[in-house]
Amino acid sequence: MIKEISEDQFKKVKETVSRADSAVKRIPISSLKVDEDSLKAGCILVDGNRVKVSTGFFSKLGQMLSINVSLTRGMIEKGDTRLAASLINGLKDYASTRKGNSDVVLIANLETKHVVDICKPSQYKRITNDTLFDVTERILSDNNSLIVETVDFNPYTGKASINFLNSDEVGFAQAGKDEFFKFGFSITQTSRDTIVESYNQRLICSNGLRVSLGEGAIGGNRDLRFEDRFKLGGTGTEDIRIFLNKIEDMKKAGFIPGGFESSINKAVSTKASLWEVEHAWRKSIDMIDEANPDLKKTYQAQIAREYYRGYGETAARINRQGVDFNSLNSRQKQFIKTGQSVWEVVNSMTFLGSNNSGIPMHGQQELKHTAGELFAKSMKEGYDLEFAQYAKL
């Protein structure tokens, strides 16, 4: 049965998420500095005042200044903060003297009171959380068949997703006789963007799967197209109108992403590689919330046994053939077939990400996104073993 949040629940979530919106400040890049001590303390200096930053902030600052991120991170970790400060300040000062806009946007998380991101003003294309809920209410008013199934919110990252579902059920026989889907979309707030991506609900086990399949045809009509993932182009009235028009285009397609059925066919018929299974397993065990190391190992083994059986079975097969399983690298594992289909691996991740498995986990909803990335892989570079038959040519 599809869950739907009630009107009272929606109001409470709206209040919580709206209060936790990011704080945004536009400053001249020349007013931002770092020094040896501030880097050690995890701070930046804004007009001489110390401001705490998140652990990932300096990587984002480095990307914006076109600095080798690994180089600066290595300097800071090794204690070469004086050299790292000189490099950052030098490139920052160079950027501030170049023609054009020399302002930057600092984005802070109100829960942690840390600056979590930095970007050029033109890169900040995020509506406020208040506006997000205003847009949500308008979408629901204009589309009687849509419901809000869930609202995901992480106060420590500021990331929020509102998941809409269409009431119409769609079946795909190749996915299983009991497999039915409801399609919709998620509106996701990141630190600097508002994004829409297609979303579906697997009715057989109430799994949510967020997936972006790129641009596709609507109903097989190549002249009528929509993008299954798109970002808000800006924060003005016209930008929001365009944003809503794109959602209207999705409605005309029944919210079914172009290429979805084709991806199901490939995922069902293609065996997952050892690397694809191992990657899914490692992502899943990262979510285990257990401090006792022995008990944690027990849960890791349970997840491998019950959800990613192809991992243990394939490891045993490799060892029987006299090959050291632990000596294999990720590239080699991409060529090794398991007994699980890609579709089975996607199912395992979406189940763990959406249901109470009896294993203590935290943040497991992110597995839905990882499952979506694997499922959509066939529309991009292809599954690891999707073209294995060509090795015989």
How do residues 21-80 score in pLDDT, each as one tens digit? 899 999 999 899 999 999 999 999 999 999 999 988 988 998 888 887 787 778 887 888
Rounded distance, CA 70 to CA 174, Å?
A: 45
**pTM, full prediction:** 0.63
Contact 336, 273 (CB under 8 A): yes
- At 105 the pLDDT is 95
The SS3 of residue 210 is strand
- At 219 the pLDDT is 37
- At 377 the pLDDT is 87
Query: With 80 as the cut, is the pLDDT of residue 179 above it?
Result: no
How do residues 88-121 score in pLDDT, each as one tens digit? 888 888 877 775 558 999 999 988 899 999 999 9
Confidence of residue 224 (pLDDT cuts 50, 70, 90): very low
Query: With 70 as the cut, is the pLDDT of residue 303 above it?
Result: yes
Confidence of residue 237 (pLDDT cuts 50, 70, 90): confident
Rounded distance, CA 352 to CA 56, Å?
A: 27
Report the 10 Å Cβ neighbour count for 361.
21
Task: Give the sign of the dihedral formed by CA 276, CA 279, CA 283, CA 286.
Answer: positive
Tell me the percentage of the chain whose pLDDT exceeds 90: 38
How do residues 304-325 score in pLDDT, each as one tens digit? 999 999 999 999 999 999 999 9
- At 97 the pLDDT is 77
- At 228 the pLDDT is 65
- At 207 the pLDDT is 55
Higher-confidence position of 51 and 355 = 51
How do residues 322-336 score in pLDDT, each as one tens digit? 999 999 999 999 999
Higher-confidence position of 300 and 197 = 300
The SS3 of residue 41 is helix
